[in-house]
Structure 1
Amino acid sequence: MENFLLFFETMPTWMKALWVFFTLGLFWILEGYYSLVVLKYKKWKHAKVNLVLLLFVMIINAIFGIATVGIFEWLDATQFGLLHLFEAPIWLELLIAIAILDLIAQYFVHYCLHKVPAMWRLHLVHHSDKNVDVTTGTRHHPIDFIIRESFALVAVVITGMPIAFYLFYRILSVAFTYFTHANISLPRGLDKTLSYVIVTPNMHKFHHHFQLPWTDSNYGNMLSIWDRLFGTFVYGDTSQIQYGVDIADHTDDESIAVQLGIPFNRNVKSKT
């Protein structure tokens, strides 16, 4: 187990970038064969703004990577955090760390992005995509992503996890992000069964419906237990889903300038 985690701790930057593009490419290809919805759009034209936003995300990741090194060195020196309060097998500590990261850095911050008006205006960029596919997983306003990364660091400090745990979680999170946003159709029975434990493509698509209450549901990224536990879980007929977000549907979802300006656009009203 130690050697497994050491691999992620020593993984070079180019390999992390390759993982991002490999998983993105894999689900891009699968969308062509196992589509959930026939999207009437130009796939590459649609992907342009999302991939530009991915570039911003990767730059922010690099900056936060420098910050996290200092945090992990401090945690190691002080033995601060929940994981230092008890003895447990390393695999159990890893599961606990992933669960807490998923709760704080995914579910909770995502909930806040919907409920806090100023944060919601940033998050509108993600929901303004009228054709949800794998590239939508990369579609975040830079400030939105900075907020997400900040919550991840809070989770790291609370747990006192080693850097290997955090890096493994990041690799896993990338795969889930593209998996859940991809326009792919799993057998309904399989998707529904998996949704009892993990977030699935069908489950997450309800979150991208253009109107409430579905928009404010299914906040999870990896584990579906948080949505079930806190009463935000929704599952039903995916044919009833319409992508986009009603308060910003008049904006051009394929213009990077328009999308970066949405949080500050007075013509885009907040749901509150």
Structure 2
Amino acid sequence: MEPFLNFFETMPIWMKAGWVFVVLAFFWILEGYYSLVVLKYKKWKHAKTNLILLAFVMIINAVFGIATAAVFIWLNDSQFGLLHLFKAPIWVELLLSLLVLDFIAQYGVHYLLHKVPAMWRLHIVHHSDKNVDVTTGTRHHPFDFIIRETFALLAVLIMGMPIAFYLFYRILSVLFTYWTHANISLPPKLDKAISYLFVTPNMHKFHHHYQMPWTDSNFGNMFSIWDRLFDTFVYDDVSKIQYGVDLADHTDDENISIQLGIPFNKTVVSKGKEVKEF
């Protein structure tokens, strides 16, 4: 298993970036053949806004890469973290690390992005998309993504995990992000069966419904167990889903300047949630 993990540690930057676009392209193609919903929109125009936000995300990733490298150097020298307190097979350490990363850097921070008013204003940008497809997975306000990356580093520090674990998690996270947002239809029984352990496309679509309480449900990214444990799991009839978010339905979801300004726009008010200004 160590050679497998070492591959991710030595994976060149061009391959990491390539993975993002390969997975994005794969689900983009599948959407054309196995659509969950027939979306009446101009796909490339819609994608433009989300891909511009992806560019911001990749720049932030590069900056955080420097901070991450410094954290792993310190962890290696200090032997700080829970993984240094016991001995276990490498696959056990990897699984524990993935679970903690998914809980803190995905479910936990996502829950806070919905519950903390100032953080929710940033996260509105992700939910304002009225046509959820694979590119919606890239749709995050830059400040929203910075918060997410900070929580990921917190999980790394808590566990004291090697960098290979973290990089493997990032590869899996990209796959699940695009898989769960993709406008694809799985056989209902298969989707529901998978959702007992992993987040599925249908399961995550309820999270993108424009009204409460579904908006505040299904926070997971990879593992669905957190939503089941903390009673935030929802699974219903997907035909009832309407994309968007009630407090931003009057905004242009395909205008990048409007989307970047939503957190600071006093005209964005909510009927379903209390939203405070910065």
Same fold (TM over 0.5): yes
Q: Answer yes or no: is 1:233 the counterpart of 2:236.
A: no
After TM superposition, list the pairs within 5 Å mapping 1:224-263 onto structure 2.
224-263=224-263
Number of aligned residue pairs: 272
1:178-204 superposed Cα distances (whole Å, 9 cap, x missing partner):
000000000000000000000000000
Gaps of 5+ in 1: none
In the TM superposition, residue 37 of structure 1 has moved relative to its aligned partner by: 0.2
* SS of residue paired to 1:210: coil
SS at match of 2:233: coil
Could you list the per-position Cα deviations for residues 151-208 of structure 1 after superposition, in whole angstroms to 9, with x for gaps in the alignment? 0000000000000000000000000000000000000000000000000000000000
- Counterpart of 1:203? 203
| Separation in 1, partners of 2:188, 2:160 | 39
Look up the match of 2:85.
Answer: 85
Show structure 1 runs of 4+ deviating over 4 A.
Answer: none
Letter in 1 for 2:144: D
Q: Distance in 2 between matches of 1:266 and 1:80?
A: 44
Cα distance in 1 for residues equivalent to 2:229 and 2:84: 27
Gaps of 5+ in 2: none
Q: List aligned pairs for 1:1-272, cutoff 5 A.
A: 1-270=1-270, 271-272=273-274
Q: Which amino acid aligns with 1:76?
A: N
More displaced stretch, 261-270 vs 223-232: 261-270
> What is the RMSD of the two structures over their aligned residues, measured on CA atoms?
0.4
Q: Secondary structure at the match of 2:132?
A: coil
Identity, in percent, stands at: 78
Instruction: Give me the whole-angstrom Cα distance separating, in 2, the residues matched to 1:159 and 1:267.
Output: 42
What amino acid is the match of 1:85?
L
Q: Distance in 1 between matches of 2:39 and 2:70?
A: 45
Q: What secondary structure, in the 3-state scheme, does the structure 1 residue paired with 2:222 have?
A: coil
In the alignment, the residues of structure 2 paired with residue 269 and residue 106 of structure 1 have an alpha-carbon distance, to the nearest angstrom, of 26
Q: Deviations over 1:90-129 (max 9, x none)?
A: 0010000000000000000000000000000000000000
TM-score by length of 2: 0.97
In structure 2, distance between residues paired with 1:247 and 1:58: 28
Opposite residue 172 of structure 2, the aligned amino acid is: L
Q: Tell me the distance in 2 between the aligned counterparts of 1:260 and 1:134.
A: 20
> CA separation in 2, counterparts of 1:235 and 1:248?
24
DSSP-derived class of the 1:102 partner: helix
